[in-house]
Structure 1
Amino acid sequence: MKKIFFASATICAFALMSCTENAKKEDGSVTIKETNTKFYKAMENGDSVTLKNWINADAVDHNGGQNGEDIVGGDKIVPMLTQLHKSFEPGLKMNIISQAVDGDYLYTLVEMKGTTIANPAMGLPPSTKMDTRNVDVVKLKDGKAQEHWAFMSMPDVMMMMKGQGGMPAADKVQMPEGDKMPMKDSVK
């Protein structure tokens, strides 16, 4: 499951950076939302230069590590994001459904669609069709990503676990004798 979460977390990882205002600036520079869109496109295309420009050198990805550990440093986060691009067949798409800015925090609901290729970092078999939704939270510092957290829906987590062989199909679950109503005793 940690490998699964790693994959989805990195999809959205630091996808939201640069600038600190929500409206277009008078000097014509881009807004946070415009930068966010460019960042997701850079992840789709594996554009490490763009990714590096929008992540602070001392940034932390709180969901990026394969074993649940933080990934510290832009020099470690960028290769992780580039590897994500390499984990999919051509045509990986990351579509922003909604985004919001609150102070130094940027929130994005993003949809990821693609088909995996052989890649042990993802932990999913080749040709797995992905269609997931994630919420990314990015804390900004000096106009760049400083911290990142990612959240995924339980149905998407279960789908990914099943793809790794870690979650049996619902009709294959064996209930202990006498326990045909799971958790009935804990629901009042």
Structure 2
Amino acid sequence: MSAGNGTPRGLAEEEVWAGSEVEIEGSELPTFSAAAKVRVGVTIVLFISSAGGNLAVLWSVTRPQPSRLRPSPVRRLFAHLAAADLLVTFVVMPLDAIWNITVQWLAGDIACRTLMFLKLMAMYAAAFLPVVIGLDRQAAVLHPLGPRPAGRKLLGTAWGLSFLLALPQVSDLNIEKKEI
């Protein structure tokens, strides 16, 4: 287990975290590296294209259709998918870009928990909603003339699961033991 000098095998006296440029015992602080600059640039390009595309889809599927009395269920599904993607666009992407620029968290515990909750919820919703669309389309193909009232229930389930699965981000994980 030990290399003979009192340190565990494979570890040096001044251990450096992989990719973080932070020495545990040294004084070197994290920096805004070239790789982080590239990540921020790519994130900005993705942010602009995602915001533009998803806002266009949301506008397209929510505007009234003069030829129909009721909106199509597919349009409702795509509106929810665009909303989930916009949540990813406006929460996850700026959060990642800011994190890469500042290299540290400056906003405090409550903001961290809230933003991590929103980030996780957005990512879960963006993953669950294509499944809901797939299930709705499967029902439409298998039962073309039958009623499909499960679309709203599936949408509620997708958003509800996204909320519930992201909820642990808000809980207090640092529970202190009280001395008696």
If the length of structure 1 is used for normalisation, what is the TM-score? 0.26
More helix per residue:
2
- Name which one, 1 or 2, has greater alpha-carbon Rg: 2
- Which one has the bigger strand percentage? 1
